[in-house]
Amino acid sequence: MSVVTEYALSALLLIGGFFTLVGAIGLVRLPDFYTRLHAPTKATTLGVGAIMLASVGYFSSTGAGPGASEILITVFLLLTAPVSANIIAKAAMHLDEKPVAGTKGNPWEQ
């Protein structure tokens, strides 16, 4: 494996880990349910995507050949993340989850 690939793969791995961690920190730190919803849908999806890319790159460079499963997992997560965010938000509105004080506008009645 060349030095450049090694650096690139390491960077991708660290970026992936960083965004996954940011998503989790957001889940703990943000003030109400609706703001917490943002962290996992965006940061975690990108984090796992970067880790998958690193995996594809790693297995291509070691000669094992890139696996198709990583790409399938990434595409699947990208497709399902908005759907699960939407359906959890609907459930939260049904449970009458209160938005944090200072939120402009109101959630709908379910």
34, 97 contact by CB (below 8 A):
yes
Give min distance, CB of 42 to other proteins, in A: 5
Q: Does 76 bind other proteins (CB under 8 A)?
A: yes
Give min distance, CB of 86 to other proteins, in A: 6
- For residue 22, give the H/E element and its range: helix 3-29
Would you tell me how many other CB atoms lie within 10 Å of the CB of residue 49? 20
Q: Does 6 bind other proteins (CB under 8 A)?
A: yes
The Cα–Cα gap between 12 and 7 comes to 9
52-71 binders of other proteins (CB under 8 A) = 52, 54-55, 58-59, 62, 64, 67-71
Give min distance, CB of 57 to other proteins, in A: 10
